[in-house]
Amino acid sequence: MASQTLAPRNYDIAELKRLDVAHHLPAQQDWQLIEDMGGSTIVTHADGCTIIDGEGRRLLDGMAGLWCVNAGYGRNELAEVAARQMRELPFYNTFFKTVTPPTVSLAARIAGLTAGTLPHVFFNTSGSEANDTVLRMVRHYWKLKGEPTRTTIISRWNAYHGSTVAGVSLGGMRFMHEQGDLPIPGVAHVRQPYWFGEGFDQDPAQFAAACAQAIEDKILELGPENVAAFIGEPVQGAGGVIIPHETYWLAVAAICRKYGILLVADEVICGFGRLGQWFGHQHFGFTPDVMAMAKGLSSGYLPISATAVAPHIVEVLKTGGDFVHGFTYSGHPVAAAVAEANIDILAREGLIARTRDDSGPYLVRALATLNDHPLVGETRSLGLIGAVEIVSEPGTNRRFGGGEGMAGGQAGPIVRDACIARGLMVRAIRDTIVMSPPLIITHAEIDQLVATIRAALDASHAALLAL
Ligand SMILES: Cc1ncc(COP(=O)(O)O)c(C=O)c1O
């Protein structure tokens, strides 16, 4: 069980806000806006599924931090594991033909979770780095295999694979490509399986087939001999919780096999129970050749990520001498020890099975109660990741301010702010309210989450009509 035993410190919140504006540049933010707000909201402590800010406001954390605190906040056990490992060995590297016990143990543990399909694990610190590793690894693999023209990686528009140069390039967010002159060469994007946004008037299965076919079309356009891999999130998270039709991934996997193209699953959000299985690909029934993971691996308690790889790739990479890639903190012993203890918690408390059999289905039913709301176009969820689509006309995918599907973008932030004002932390992605709560969330907290979204929609109605 989560528990908070330490009394929170008394911070000088006004001074912290002043220093925040003066010195701190927050990630993925409009710094002028933060200054105009007088500084970011200072979150001081948390317990279970609740975060508490400097003004003492309690918010139900519908986002598990940033899709990551799967085990919930206040896990003293993880703090103790970190402290013990820091005292014993705070750091050692894997560059010098050396390794630490927690690193080896975690690699073996992750391999076991893949049922032996991906038994080799490379460690990084963030999800973005896990995908940088993917890019270098798969290109190097093809070169060693004697097919050096296989360099292009196919991804989807509106995918999110991180914020490093490779992460943004692999991702399909055009507004991110605009900053930093990206993508790098050798990345091609195809349509996403976003039925509500882009396939609304089509049969969902036919739409999914068309989205998979777009991958085959792109392979043929580029020439299969030039394609290294396809990468995708089992469920796109930051793109708006896009849950593909159940047939999509099997079709994608068949296409990759047909052309001998590596299949990469970015499980940074979907991994570690989010979809009710250890990994999202296990839900959709396909087996990737490479998998990136982060976030839920340590429930966000320390930064750590991993790239798990199939034996046939590692055997080829072993023929190439040093793989000259890796980071100071690859396999960091403290992060690795905490990650393994976190996996112990997820397993011991049955949180994955509970997400699949109990809380996930409960979230589906609870969100469905919003379907009668005039501002709701669709609710969807899988495991403990979900979305509510805000529309200007019930029964359509029309957006406030004009356009359909991917259009809009002004309504979401209004409803999100109304949720936050009512004690619920959720995120707006365009006009989609998304959620990804800790896997320990109770039925009562799910009811609270859904009731708060309803109240926020009601309170926002007039403002949305004015858009
Ligand atoms: C699917 C996916 N891949 C990669 C990343 C990047 O992870 P990080 O922010 O740890 O670099 C994210 C982050 O949200 C993600 O959702």
* Residue of minimum CA distance from atom 13 in ligand 1: 162
CA of 369 to the centre of ligand 1 (A): 31
Which is the closest atom of ligand 1 to the Cα of 164?
11
Question: Residue 9: its pLDDT value, please?
Answer: 83
Cα separation, 211 vs 270, whole angstroms: 20
- 122 near 161, Cβ under 8 Å? no
* Residue of minimum CA distance from atom 8 in ligand 1: 127
CA of 202 to the centre of ligand 1 (A): 31
Which is the closest atom of ligand 1 to the Cα of 163?
11
Tens-place pLDDT, residues 63-94: 999 999 999 999 999 999 999 999 999 999 99
Give the mean pLDDT of 343-360.
98
Give the mean pLDDT of 275-294.
98
Does 4 score more than 60 pLDDT? Answer: no
CA of 280 to the centre of ligand 1 (A): 15
Tens-place pLDDT, residues 259-280: 999 999 999 999 999 999 999 9
Question: Residue 6: its pLDDT value, please?
Answer: 62
CA of 436 to the centre of ligand 1 (A): 14
CA of 128 to the centre of ligand 1 (A): 6
Which is the closest atom of ligand 1 to the Cα of 66?
14
CA of 276 to the centre of ligand 1 (A): 19
With CA atoms as reference, report the closest residue to 334 among 91, 161, 10, 46: 91
Tens-place pLDDT, residues 234-262: 999 999 999 999 999 999 999 999 999 99
Tens-place pLDDT, residues 134-175: 999 999 999 999 999 999 999 999 999 999 999 999 999 999
Question: Residue 8: its pLDDT value, please?
Answer: 73
Q: In the chain, pLDDT over 70 holds for what percent of residues?
A: 99
Task: Say which amino acid occupies 260.
Answer: G
Give the mean pLDDT of 392-414.
97
Alpha helices in 114-203 (DSSP H): 127-144, 165-170, 174-177, 195-198
- Mean pLDDT (the chain, rounded): 97
> Pocket residues for ligand 1 (CB within 6 Å)?
126-128, 131, 160-163, 167, 233, 237-238, 266, 268-269, 294
Q: Does 183 sit behind a cis peptide bond, omega within 30 degrees of 0 on the bond before it?
A: yes
Q: In the chain, pLDDT over 90 holds for what percent of residues?
A: 98
Question: Residue 10: its pLDDT value, please?
Answer: 87
pTM: 0.98
Give the mean pLDDT of 198-227.
98
Residue entry with tokens 């994955």: 352
Give the mean pLDDT of 382-408.
97
Cα separation, 53 vs 46, whole angstroms: 9
